[in-house]
Amino acid sequence: MWPATILAQPPVILVLGDSLSAGYGIAREAGWVWLLDERLQQRGLAYQVVNASVSGETTAGGLTRLPSLLAQHRPDLLIIELGANDGLRGFDYPVIRDNLSALIRLGREQGSRVLLVGVRLPPNYGAAYNQGFQAVFQNLSETLKVPLVPDLLQDVGEHWNLMQEDGLHPTAEAQERILENVWPALAPLLEIAPEAMN
């Protein structure tokens, strides 16, 4: 039988992401993942948020790291926010799709609920590639029955005042809006009362 101290540990939310979740160029306490942790605490929701995001991470890199992260943290909920760097490097859709599918499968095999987070690429990558890239996430959501945040940077990426000078990374001021983009898909997975979702 497990000791009571172990049994009392709060369920873990593991965020596996890239620079958009690691908080590139801003204070760690300003990032949307940190703000999520604060929101959960303020609402009395007993979750431990572990941010395993790494700037520059690809789906392949995440696939390499995830098994050990799952073994270490045993997350109740896995948030996968990867693929942007694959897209920026022009990777073929099947590569991105297969890696994301494997990440989802690994999480589920460990017993985690999974939330998939998509993102749009800059317009200079062309409409055709962008549409195909976004379709990867939508198709995975539909075929694997996994909840999806369609666009992490919705109503952020198109506003230059909310983006850093590189045009790729959001500012600290944008992070609350990013959390609001994630929350509608995340809240139902937390098994919380409806009034705590709003």
Q: Which is the catalytic residue, given 21, 86, 112, 169?
A: 169
Would residue 138 count as lying in a domain?
yes
Would residue 4 count as lying in a domain?
no
- The two beta strands, 148-149 and 113-117, are parallel
What is the reported pTM?
A: 0.92
Would residue 2 count as lying in a domain?
no
Q: How many residues does the chain have?
A: 198
Crossing angle, helix 127-144 and helix 93-110, to 10 degrees? 30
Would residue 196 count as lying in a domain?
no
Predicted pLDDT at 7: 54
Residue 102 belongs to domain with CATH number: 3.40.50.1110
Predicted pLDDT at 122: 85
Active site residue 166: yes
Predicted pLDDT at 1: 41
Would residue 1 count as lying in a domain?
no
Would residue 197 count as lying in a domain?
no
HSE value, Cβ hemisphere, 13 Å, CA-based, for 140: 30
Q: Which domain holds residue 22?
A: 9-191
Domain count, the chain: 1
Active site residue 112: no
Residue 181 in tokens: 């983009």
Active site residue 98: no
Q: What is the pLDDT along the chain (198 residues), one digit of tens a residue?
A: 445 445 568 999 999 999 999 999 999 999 999 999 999 999 999 999 999 999 999 999 999 999 999 999 999 999 999 999 999 999 999 999 999 999 999 999 999 999 999 999 888 888 899 999 999 999 999 999 999 999 999 999 888 899 999 889 999 999 999 999 999 999 999 965 444 445
CB 130 within 8 A of CB 90: no
Residue 93 in tokens: 């859709």
Q: Which is the catalytic residue, given 18, 19, 53, 112?
A: 19
